[in-house]
Amino acid sequence: MPSDELTRIAEKAARGTMFLFVGSTSATFISAIGGIVVARLLGPSSYGLYNLTLIMPSLLVALADLGVSNALIRLPARLTSKGDYHRANRIIGLGFLLKICFGAVAFFVCYAGAEAIAGTALNRSELAPFLRIASVLILFSAILGAVNSIFIGLDLMQWNAGSQIIQSIVWSVLGPALVLVGFGIAGALWGYVLSVVVAALTGVILLVRPAHSGGGQTRVAHPLSAELRVMLRYGLPLYMATILTLLLTQYQSLVLAHFATDVEVGNFYAAWNFNNFPQILSAPIATAMFPMFSKMDPENQRSELARAFRLAVKYSSLILTPAAVAIMVFSRDLVDLTFGRSYTLAPQYLILVSAYYLSAGFGSVVLGSFLNGLAETSTVLKMSVAMLAIYVPLGPALAWLWGPYGLLIAYIISGGIPAVTYGLRRASMKFGARLDLKASGLILFAALGAAVPSVVFTQLDPLGTGALDLIIGGVLYLTVYVTLAPIMSAVDKQDILNLRTLFGGTLIPSTLVSPIFDYASRVLSWTKRNAPTVA
């Protein structure tokens, strides 16, 4: 691939990343407001029951996918890049129909079996009426997932972002309102259900036009059965990987239900909600990288593909590693200002939750998109098997010893080392994709070094935890990190130029981050001028 073509694809991916980032940031912020109000109104115990109710519907949404969502991203992206709009539209229509059918079946399973599920899986039979309410989520979540996948595959990231924002607004208004008027847990559930319904229907309306557009269509006589085989051949391994990963998360919740009190569960989910903050940064990167890698040819573009992978890992680490460290440093302030001081266990849980994202520099965020985009789905499946094989025995054992702390430690161990190591080995052997371990290590050291002044400040602050710690400490942390990164050679001049180019097509985010690039460039220039000369 010519370098200008690689640059064009990368810039388009960066533009999509920015749309997804703005959408995810806005949606998470809005949802967080509603979620925090609901958590405060319900209290730790009822808030724990609310989250336990959502376990099975979330699991059934994933079970009813069969890999169709991933196919709706990759296949339209590849087909439209080749100009075959007609076949892309057939894939979209077939995938959308499959998602509705599978979602409807899963809805009836959850609704009809609510009492058995509540009593057996959740260990709380009183949750059966709430589970019937939450079952409505399954069908409309399937629809919403389908349209959002299609938006990504067609490079309509702005509409994906819009659906997220709509859903968060409706939830943040209806959820607290229904709890306030006296509906309690049921009100919180109905607020969430209706927000997904509104977002799904809005997405369908937006989808009508792009799903039937694309001049110069290439008419190819592929029967629907052939299209179905193509979708399932690609999607089923990823479906199994997704199910295994989701089983890990839901299994975690089920272990909590048996080894933790309602108060501990409520504190755990309060901390887990902050998992959204690093995901605001990681999810847009991984999502936008998926169609980008899908458009690249591993046979004719091997060197460009390896370079794109290396840089994607490095640049995602530049953002996610310091974000994870900052959340760990300010965990007490974040919990106290949002959920309140009654959630006394949440700050310690939050430190462990954030520690997982320190692995971004070793490919944990980008690796899945890289392998999925190149149709290396069997490797993704084996990575998930490795995670689950370690977590299933380790999770309950550590939870029995240390409660939620042990469960989080098991999650970090199983989700990081074995799966990522195996995936990196396959990516290196088959595609020549390797990490820049030196850069990853330097970024981690810069992030940890920047934490020292902030920790000192929070300890010396006479006012204790609060907004002052977050504002002043956060600015201090960012300033020290952006200073240390170029001094420690975690970034160089070419990296800054690349980042400026990638952000160039996104005016508002570029305007916000341009001063950071300018400052990093000045620090880099000062470092070079003052570097010792070798005789």
pLDDT tens sequence across 261-293: 778 887 887 787 776 666 666 655 666 566 667
Q: Say if CB 191 and CB 171 are below 8 A apart.
A: yes
pLDDT at residue 183 above 80? Answer: yes
What tokens appear for 167 in the block?
């859903």
Q: What is the pLDDT of residue 314?
A: 84
Q: What is the pLDDT of residue 194?
A: 92
Q: Which residues of 300-328 are buried (b: 16+ CB within 10 A; e: fewer)?
A: ebbebbbebbbbbbbbbbbbbbbbbbbbb
User: What does the alpha-carbon distance between residue 396 and residue 419 come to, in Å, rounded to a whole number?
Assistant: 20
Q: What is the pLDDT of residue 244?
A: 73
Q: Can you tell me whether residue 326 is helix, strand or coil?
A: helix
pLDDT tens sequence across 97-136: 888 888 899 899 888 888 888 887 777 888 888 889 988 8
In the block, tokens 């490795």 appear at 386
User: What does the alpha-carbon distance between residue 47 and residue 346 come to, in Å, rounded to a whole number?
Assistant: 13
Q: What is the pLDDT of residue 216?
A: 47
**In the chain, what are the domain boundaries?**
13-216, 237-440
pLDDT at residue 203 above 80? Answer: yes
Q: pTM higher than 0.95, yes or no?
A: no
- Kindly give, in sequence order, each residue whose CB lies less than 8 Å from that of residue 283, ignoring residues fewer than 6 positions away: 20, 24
pLDDT tens sequence across 204-222: 888 776 544 444 444 555 6
Average pLDDT, the chain: 78
Supply the DSSP symbol for 125.
Answer: G
Supply the DSSP symbol for 10.
Answer: H
Which has more confidence, 338 or 509? 338
